[in-house]
């Protein structure tokens, strides 16, 4: 693993045997650290209608106030702030308001809302390009992406410069570092798999759709722009997209565990963090392999790293935020209690880095150094053992030379025996001639037996073919049964998926009732499906709940298409 950062003091316990290895690492780690202001995390809380601002430098410092709260809109208590994106300069934080279909603009200097921009229905994901000039908002309610020109906010001109039809239920959004492509996760209910919709940022048009896992949520792009990482909540996987082909190559889907949601790529591009049930899965970006799982508080959802990669922040649905040291994968302090439901989502950490941007590489490098030291110690022990083996073998060689001298004398005696045995051999040759004649007669018998074997082989081939036909028939029936079972039951859903399906159905049903009236028979049928879904959730039948909510969602949506 390559890095441009100085070797930290945590690399200790090196022996003289590993000095060469350490020297090679030191040649790689030569870039000086950057020492500027501390980063801040902006945590949306749908239950409190606030954004909590966490000062990373003050976390765990006794007597320091690490959290400030910003009310999104006092006049609307149910704004349901959700997704957050911070621009590269750290001057603005953009917060999607799921409840009133808007984006709040937070001035990070005054920690106050300075503007509000209307977007599509039920926005969730939000991302800002590296230049800070374009904001992309995923509107789950109408399957669109709103494109906002941030330079027009507050000027009197409409900042929404485009609205792109991007899918059915769009969720997360990310922009590549060059600002040329926008990646949007789409639950794509009508498709057998989830999709990532790729938008050409230059023309604001849909460029390509990439198949990923079921119910994709979070999406992140590597610093090079070469890979896109997608958390598939219902599949328990992360899909890795190769942006040179915009496909998921074979072997680039990683199992990470139950309900992965938020995802973040470290600034160095070495590690990928995935918030999932039971902790944060950490992946090696180079090999797409699971490196470790970091325990945090209950039900983590969103995850983001600071600009240096020194820490990563995790929003937990138990009302807390965990702050983890990337070098050790250990919490900096106890989880910060915010209350409510900090369902933060996106790249919600901003501000200038306060340490060198290699902290996320410390733990992996330490692991490699420990492995190298263990290998050196093992090889040293083997070398000592081999030296003993050499001395032992020298003794055996001396003994062998003595044995050779003895055998030479015995060889002279054996030469006489050879002459005697030659006479016996001549007699044996005569016997062989006799046996050869007998063998010729036996060959005739062998040919007869060979014909019988050939006949039996043909019969065996016929029976083998019959058996293969029978196995094919059985396999076809098994496949039909498997397809029927999969069609009936599908992939098992969890409470989070059922809740997300419930919210989507509720939103669509509410629009239908407002448009056509609650007594409309189609509205009544959709309402009954929704109620059945609620009963299924209460009974713990999440898969059944997802089916009912989806029927309700499709019935309500179909009314607008009549």
Q: What is the pLDDT of residues 515-537, one digit of tens each?
A: 999 899 999 999 999 999 999 99
C-alpha span between 41 and 56 (Å, rounded)? 7
Contacts of 339 (CB under 8 A, 6+ apart): 45, 47, 48, 319
pLDDT tops 70 at residue 493 = no
State the CATH number of the domain containing residue 249. Answer: 2.130.10.10
The pLDDT of 236-264, averaged and rounded, is 97
Full strand arrangement of the beta sheet holding 92-97: 81-86, 92-97, 102-107, 112-118
Q: Within a domain: residue 122?
A: yes
The full 3-state SS of 224-240, as one line of letters, equals: CCCEEEEEECCCCEEEE
Q: Within a domain: residue 86?
A: yes
Q: What is the pLDDT of residues 158-202, one digit of tens each?
A: 999 999 999 999 999 999 999 999 999 999 999 888 999 999 999
Per-residue burial over 105-115, b if 16 or more Cβ lie within 10 Å, else e, is bbebeeeebeb
DSSP output for 86-121: E-TTSSEEEEEETTTTEEEEEETTTTEEEEEEE-SS
Q: Within a domain: residue 22?
A: no
The more confidently predicted of residues 186 and 366 is: 186
SS3 state at 211: strand
Q: Within a domain: residue 213?
A: yes
Burial of 436 (0-12, 13-18, 19+ CB in 10 A): exposed
Find out whether 523 and 553 touch, Cβ atoms under 8 Å.
no
Instruction: Please tell me the predicted confidence (pLDDT) of residue 372.
Output: 67
Q: Within a domain: residue 404?
A: no
Among 117-121, 256-260, 340-344, the range scoring the smallest mean pLDDT is: 340-344
Per the structure, the count of domains in the chain is 2
Q: What length is written for the chain? A: 562
Considering the chain, what is the average pLDDT of its residues? 83
The pLDDT of 465-477, averaged and rounded, is 58
**pTM of the full predicted structure?**
0.61
Domain range holding 517? 495-560
pLDDT tops 50 at residue 6 = no
C-alpha span between 43 and 50 (Å, rounded)? 8
For residue 368, name the pLDDT band (cuts at 50, 70, 90). low
Question: Domain ends where: 249, 276, 296?
Answer: 296
Instruction: Please tell me the predicted confidence (pLDDT) of residue 29.
Output: 35
> Residue 175: enclosing H or E segment and its boundaries?
strand 170-175
Q: Within a domain: residue 555?
A: yes
Instruction: Please tell me the predicted confidence (pLDDT) of residue 362.
Output: 55
Least Cα distance to 199 among 136, 278, 279 occurs for 136
Q: Within a domain: residue 413?
A: no
Instruction: Please tell me the predicted confidence (pLDDT) of residue 11.
Output: 34
Question: Domain ends where: 296, 314, 333?
Answer: 296
Among 276-280, 358-362, 465-469, the range scoring the smallest mean pLDDT is: 358-362
Question: Domain ends where: 243, 261, 296?
Answer: 296
Q: Within a domain: residue 471?
A: no
Instruction: Please tell me the predicted confidence (pLDDT) of residue 176.
Output: 97
């Amino acid at each position: 693993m390559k890095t441009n950062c100085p070797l930290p003091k945590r690399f200790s316990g090196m022996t003289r045997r590993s000095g060469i290895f350490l020297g090679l690492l030191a040649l790689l780690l030569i870039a000086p650290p950057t020492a500027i202001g501390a980063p801040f995390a902006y945590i949306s809380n749908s239950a409190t209608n606030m954004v909590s601002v966490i000062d990373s430098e003050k976390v765990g410092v006794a007597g320091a106030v690490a959290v400030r709260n910003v009310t999104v809109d006092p006049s609307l208590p149910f704004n349901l702030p959700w997704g957050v994106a911070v621009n590269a300069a750290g001057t603005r934080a953009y917060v999607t308001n799921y409840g009133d279909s808007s984006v709040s603009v937070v001035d990070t200097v005054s920690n106050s809302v300075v503007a509000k921009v209307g977007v599509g229905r039920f926005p969730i994901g939000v991302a800002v390009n590296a230049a800070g000039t374009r904001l992309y908002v995923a509107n789950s309610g109408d399957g669109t992406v709103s494109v906002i020109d941030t330079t027009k906010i507050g000027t009197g001109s409409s900042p929404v410069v485009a609205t792109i039809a991007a899918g059915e239920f769009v969720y997360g959004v990310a922009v590549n570092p060059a600002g040329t492509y926008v990646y949007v996760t789409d639950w794509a209910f009508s498709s057998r798999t989830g999709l990532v919709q790729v938008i050409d940022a230059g023309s604001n048009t849909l460029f390509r759709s990439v198949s990923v896992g079921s119910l994709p949520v979070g999406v992140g792009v590597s610093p090079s722009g070469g890979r896109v990482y997608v958390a598939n909540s219902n599949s328990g996987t992360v899909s890795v997209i190769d942006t040179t082909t915009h496909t998921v190559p074979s072997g680039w889907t990683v199992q990470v565990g139950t309900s992965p949601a938020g995802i973040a790529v470290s600034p160095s591009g070495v590690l990928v963090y995935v918030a999932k049930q039971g902790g944060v899965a950490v992946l090696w970006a180079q090999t797409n392999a699971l490196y470790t799982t970091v325990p945090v508080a209950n039900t983590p959802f969103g995850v983001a790293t600071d600009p240096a990669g020194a820490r990563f922040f995790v929003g937990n649905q138990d009302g807390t935020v965990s702050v983890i040291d990337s070098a050790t994968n250990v919490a900096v302090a106890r989880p910060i209690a915010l209350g409510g439901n900090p369902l933060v989502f996106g790249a919600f950490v901003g501000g200038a880095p306060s340490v060198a941007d290699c902290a996320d590489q410390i733990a992996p490098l330490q692991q490699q150094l420990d492995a190298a030291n263990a290998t050196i110690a093992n090889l040293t022990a083997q070398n000592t053992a081999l030296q003993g083996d050499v001395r032992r073998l020298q003794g055996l060689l001396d003994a062998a030379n003595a044995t050779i001298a003895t055998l030479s004398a015995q060889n002279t005696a054996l030469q006489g025996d050879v002459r005697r045995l030659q006479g016996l051999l001549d007699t044996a040759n005569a016997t062989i001639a006799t046996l050869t004649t007998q063998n010729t007669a036996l060959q005739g018998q062998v040919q007869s037996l060979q014909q019988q074997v050939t006949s039996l082989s043909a019969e065996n081939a016929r029976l083998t073919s019959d058996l293969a036909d029978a196995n094919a028939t059985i396999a076809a029936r098994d496949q039909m049964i498997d397809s029927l079972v999969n069609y009936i039951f599908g992939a098992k859903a969890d409470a989070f998926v059922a809740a997300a399906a419930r919210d989507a159905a509720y939103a669509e049903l509410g629009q239908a009732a407002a448009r056509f009236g609650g007594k409309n028979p189609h509205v009544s049928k959709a309402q009954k499906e929704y109620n059945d879904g609620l009963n299924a959730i209460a009974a713990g039948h999440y898969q059944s709940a997802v089916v009912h909510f989806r029927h309700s969602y499709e019935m309500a949506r179909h009314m607008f298409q009549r």
